[in-house]
Amino acid sequence: MSTAIDIPSLLRGHGFRLTPQRLTVAELVLSKPAHVTARKVYQTLKEDHPALSLNTVYLTLGQFEKSGLLNRFEINGNAVFDSNTMPHNHACCSCCGVIIDLPVHQMEQQAPSLLNQWQIQTEHRIWVGLCPNCMDEDRAGKMNKSGVGSI
């Protein structure tokens, strides 16, 4: 079962011209669930697409965000772009940087009473902790491992 997304149609439908860079970035971030930073997209693509610059990647992701194809949120000062544009919360591992989606429950959407005078547009929580993989590595006593992931 595959629900392949027709990236060119999707981009055209949002009024984008189909430039090679746009298609390349879109294939990576829109064809499957993804939480990515501009730097990560750039590093993933630069081998095969030497003409692509970090700046172009950043601008392209920003355009996708403005047109509603991506959500954007911040973790540790990094802008993270999310292909899941439905309201949801996140958990982020402080060790390896993995980010997972959490469903939003109806209960949680109750705003605190201090915000009674506000018109709330969105709410986003980020739970931070150690993921099971990193907990296992801790237990195994490999505290001095190198190559700690960053997002």
Report in angstroms the alpha-carbon separations of 58 from 29, 63, 70, 102, 111. Answer: 12, 9, 13, 26, 33
Partners of 102 in the β-ladder: 89
Residue 102 or 115: which CB sits closer to Zn ion? 102
Residue 10 or 75: which CB sits closer to Zn ion? 75
State the minimum distance, in angstroms, from the CB of residue 26 to Zn ion: 17
Task: State the residues that interact with Zn ion by CB under 5 A.
Answer: 82, 84, 93, 95-96, 101, 131, 134
Residue appearing with tokens 């965000």 = 65
Question: 64: exposed, middle or buried (C-beta count within 10 Å: 0-12, 13-18, 19+)?
Answer: buried
State the minimum distance, in angstroms, from the CB of residue 103 to Zn ion: 11
Residue 79 or 96: which CB sits closer to Zn ion? 96
Residue 41 or 93: which CB sits closer to Zn ion? 93
State the minimum distance, in angstroms, from the CB of residue 31 to Zn ion: 16
Residue 64 · residue 30 · CB < 8 Å:
yes
State the minimum distance, in angstroms, from the CB of residue 105 to Zn ion: 16
- Strand stretches in the chain, DSSP E: 35-36, 71-75, 78-82, 89-93, 99-102, 126-129
